[in-house]
Amino acid sequence: MKKRINSVDKINPYSKNSVILILLRYVILLIVVFILLLPISSPLIYTIIAPLTIYPVLFLLKLFVDISYSAPFITLGGKTLIEIVPACIAGAAYILILILNLSVPMKLKDRVYSIIFSVLILLVFNIIRIVGFSLLYNSLFPYVDLAHKFFWYFISTIFIVAIWFFIVKIYKIREIPFYSDIRFIMKEIKKAD
């Protein structure tokens, strides 16, 4: 005789020790975000991500134009000077991806893979963005500043949301960041009363 599985049990990502695991996740999240955003250590995220961004950018730019690099400036074709500022590295976007990944319940293996995968997607996107705008700037494209601002304020935000939805689909995440955890804890509190 087949055992009937309750549909809630099939998709419930919480276990018996869920409250402890939720608290542990948020402690880790707070520690990581605090370390990455602390003014004294804020260069930490840029120390990690900047080389991963800049060196591929330099490699790709060399395919199209002669360059020289003296941090934080890239000179294209001996005439165009581009400065790679911390905002170009998009540290806040990586932190947001990390926050989203840590604010939903997942198996540890899935969480590690989802963080790595979403960070890699963001990294590739950012490298392509920097190379594209550098080449546009070098070619004296008249609307490069307008395009850069539009991209910075709108497209980048949409892209981060798209990365998250892509991760949600791949890893079959059915929970809402923060909300699902809060709802679960509130139910556990009501059960205890």
* Beta pairing, strands 80-83 & 73-76: antiparallel
Q: Mean of the per-residue pLDDT values for the chain?
A: 83
Give the model's pLDDT for residue 13.
60
Most confident of 8-12, 52-56, 79-83, 173-177: 52-56
Q: 31 pLDDT band (50/70/90 cuts)?
A: confident
| Cβ burial 3-39 (10 Å sphere, 16+ → b, else e) | eeeeeeeeeebbeeebbebbeebeeeeeeeeeebeee
Taking the C-alpha atoms of residue 146 and residue 129, their distance in angstroms, rounded to an integer, is 14
Q: 30 pLDDT band (50/70/90 cuts)?
A: confident
pLDDT in tens, 59-90: 999 999 999 999 889 999 888 888 888 888 88
Give the model's pLDDT for residue 14.
62
Positive or negative CA dihedral for 118, 121, 123, 126?
Answer: negative
Q: Is the pTM of this model over 0.85?
A: no
- Cβ pair 139, 128 in contact under 8 A: no
Kindly state the DSSP code that residue 72 receives in the 8-state scheme: T
- Cβ pair 102, 165 in contact under 8 A: no
With a pLDDT cut of 90, the percent of the chain lying above it is 30
